[in-house]
Amino acid sequence: MKIQRAEIYPLSIPLVEPIKMSRELIVDAKTVLLCLTDEQGRQGWGEASVAPLMTGETLDSLLASIKYLVEESLGLDWGSPDRFAEMFNRVLYSNASAKSCLEMALLDLYTQEASIPLWQYLRGANTAIDETAPVAIPLLRMLGGSLDKELSDAKALRELGFRHWKIKIGSLSLEQDLHRVKVLCELLDGDTVSVDANCALNLADAILFCESEEAARLTFVEQLIPADLPMDDFIELKKRSAIPIGLDESIHGIKELKQFIEAKAFSGASLKLIKTGGVIPALACANLLKRNKLELNLACKVAETSLSAAATASLGFAIGSVAWGFSMSNQYLQFDICDEPLIAINGYVKSSQLAHSGVGVTPNINRVKEVIAKGYSAIQC
């Protein structure tokens, strides 16, 4: 399989409503789409989003990395996906987001050529799975805004079948956040409820939070403390917490997972393709977590389109189960760039929704061109 040409699209898509995190306010999704055309005229699509506080990528840096990687990839013979990462690393050091974008587009082409869905290929390649059929993946919804709004949103979404939740904390006082958590957990009793601080708490406040009665009903807490704190702080938090400790910003791939597993400093991790460098490295991370009886959450960055949602869901179907849920962030866009966007069905996403060969969804090129970020243009390679 060889790539004949490529187009790169820097996009900016407005959100349904702003999403307030502890260290940033997000009002639109800045993401990059890549379209590869092979020698047979097939098109494969990839995506990676901007995440300056997680991967260090801005729109400009992500565009530059993808353009460089793609230009160096033109004319190469792309064989087995098992060798994709090795080939990427010969061309460009690090830059996991750019590699994830290219890997997704190549896998889309590879599985179209094989006439199978991406999830089916990944499931067949995963020797750690033994279920006969993929199970539906529970979708996780974020709650934010005033407490009244959070309660109203939670009630409405619960009626639609959602049972997995993430409460953003860290931008209010500890007392205010604990009150919100207590009230929401009472409403959502029996559901999988988590909080995410996005590194906002210091160790002392994180311990106070995890030892409090108000937080006792939580299923897990995610990245309460900064990723650059010493390992001893994570060990102390894990030791003192009655609630399972999840990590996100601290985990980018196998290397970090092994370090935290050896230290026994966490209970599970959130995997994003832009952190691991793609679907195949993420699958290796998921299997390592499962072998060590640790939980996982799958997530897209806020906010990616149905393209990344489909690739991440394909990973979930290959894993077998995702107990901590899947943060499918195209749910927060005002509109998607796919004519048939991936949507929730009673709070879940099902493998039958990705029955087409390849990644399973295809962007509408006219819609893609309509949301090119202001001041940018498509790049031809």
Query: Looking at residue 177, which CATH number applies to its domain?
Result: 3.20.20.120
Distance CA 85, CA 88 (A): 5
Are residues 349 and 263 part of one domain?
yes
At residue 100 the predicted structure's pLDDT band, cuts being 50, 70 and 90, is very high
Q: Is there a single domain that holds both residue 148 and residue 220?
A: yes
pLDDT at 302: 87
Query: In Å, how far are 119, 137, 320 from 123, measured between CA atoms?
Result: 6, 14, 8
Residue 271 CA to residue 286 CA, distance in Å, equals 8
**Structural domains of the chain, count:** 2
Check: CB of residue 324 under 8 Å from CB of residue 297. Answer: yes
332 and 301 co-located in one domain = yes
CA pair distance 49, 305, nearest whole angstrom: 9
Domain hosting residue 76, numbered range = 3-116+363-380
φ/ψ of residue 137, rounded to 5:
-105, 125
Give the tokens for residue 328.
Answer: 């499918």
pLDDT band at 131 (very low <50, low <70, confident <90, very high): low
Has residue 23 got a pLDDT over 80? no
Please state the φ and ψ torsions of residue 269, each to the nearest 5 degrees: -145, 155
Does 205 share its domain with 301? yes
CA-to-CA distance for 374 and 380, rounded, in angstroms?
Answer: 18
Place of tokens 């069905």: 345
Mean pLDDT of 260-266: 98
Average pLDDT, the chain: 95
Same domain, 200 and 75: no
* Same-domain check for residues 96 and 218: no
Span 309-340, pLDDT tens digits: 999 999 999 998 899 999 999 999 999 999 99
Percent of the chain with pLDDT over 70: 99
Mean pLDDT of all residues in 234-249: 98
So what's the pLDDT on residue 127? 78
* Domain shared by 239 and 254, yes or no: yes
Pair 92, 167 in one domain: no
**Among 164, 249, 242, 236, which residue's Cα sits nearest to residue 203?**
236
pLDDT in tens, 287-297: 999 999 999 99
pLDDT for 144 beyond 90: no
Using the predicted structure, report yes or no on whether residue 130 has a pLDDT greater than 70. Answer: no
pLDDT at 238: 98
DSSP 304-349: --HHHHHHHHHHHHHHS--TT-EE-GGGGBSS-SBSS----BTTEE
Q: How large is the average pLDDT for residues 39-47?
A: 96
Domain harbouring 77, CATH code: 3.30.390.10
pLDDT at 133: 81
pTM of the model: 0.96
* 108 and 130 together in one domain: no
> Both 220 and 303 in a single domain?
yes
Do 52 and 127 lie in one domain? The reply is: no
Mean pLDDT over 350-370 rounds to 97
Residues 240 and 214 in one domain: yes
Distance (Å, whole) CA 327 – CA 136:
14
In Å, how far are 68, 132, 135, 185, 237 from 31, measured between CA atoms? 17, 35, 29, 33, 34
